Structure 1
Amino acid sequence: MWLDHPNFEKAIEKWWYIDIKGIAMYRMAKYLRYIKVNIKKWNKEVFGDLFAAKSKTQLELEEMQDKIQTSGYNEVSINEENEVLVKYHKIIKREEEFWKQRSRSLWLKVGGRNTRFFHMTAMKHKATNKISKLRIGGIETRKDDEIGNEAKNFFISLLSTDCGFDVYSQRALLETIHLIINDVQNKALVAIPSEDKVKKAVFSFDCNKALGPDGFLLFFF
């Protein structure tokens, strides 16, 4: 829904071209963090509370239709009703996109205001993915911070465990493995990919998949 706003891309350009020093990955992380903070502020200022806006517009529409029932149709009332209807349909479209992203449903791409379906799917994802309790050192806990820390520590330990081989042992082990990749293939595998290949890989993913560690959907990129 942000892309429908005429000033969104200009706002992104303004936030992106700030002066940040450091290596490329550090600057990238800082840019994204800075943009994320500003997008939240911008979204609140421009779009406001989506669900409050929907309720307010529904009330406006009901009042308008009551007025028409009492006074009858005329050119002024028709124009006023159309303005409210246009605003209401825009909000409904934004609501559908909101729940569609939350539900991460892949089979329904466009159309059909299935906000109830998207809402139920999002709630199901949340319930399925949530670890409500965990046994740590023989003691069961339901505290989110303790569960989160245990999960983080588990993977840090798993992914940083030393295999126990010294350099010579590793080399001796590798020498026993039959080579199936030639030098040309190896150079292709370890070569730095071109910008076109990176772009093709990123754009091949579904844009509404789960958030990355930076909190952005692929759709943003």
Structure 2
Amino acid sequence: MYDRRSIDEFRRVKVVLIDLLRQQNDFWKQRAKDFWLKEGGVNTKFFHNSVKQRRRINTMKRLKRSDGTWVSDRSQLKMMVEEYFRDLFRSEGVVARHEDLAGLVQVSSADNDWLLRLVTMGEVKKAVFAMHPDKAPGPDSLNPSFFQHYWDIVGCDVFHYCKNIFETGHLPNGVNVTNLVLIPKKENPENMGDWRP
């Protein structure tokens, strides 16, 4: 009924078809992304609804405790999330042995002096301009683009702020704050293992 040549041809066509379908899928994903980037800033009902739907999907409404009971109170949810990450990154009984550090290269006196010297205006400016302009804003709600664009006005203040941190070794409260967004791994997540940062 089928000869070897027909089967080989079928397999070859199947591979080509799968590749074309993948390309088509990639094309439409890219088109959707381009459309969102181009039109997403437009204040339309469609985009408002898209954002609301995404927010609804990504909102943690309740979690199941280890005893099987559900928690939906926001303050209790917050405590459960904090406890989960505190336990996740807790280390107990870890002792650093001297042998573990034996093979490490030590910092020379000259390198140490260089590392301990004061930061310069040029270094701070170089660091600010090395950032992608559209990276996420900091706690002040300003992204790198603002500081790059207005460097002539704000550069001196930014430099003195950074210099003070290097001199005192103290980060002001809120400077290193990170907003963590948890995204559900599956529909109807039940516990913290069903969410990813």
TM over 0.5: no
TM normalised by structure 2 equals 0.37
Q: Which has the higher contact order (CA 8 A, sep 6+)?
A: 2
TM normalised by structure 1 equals 0.34
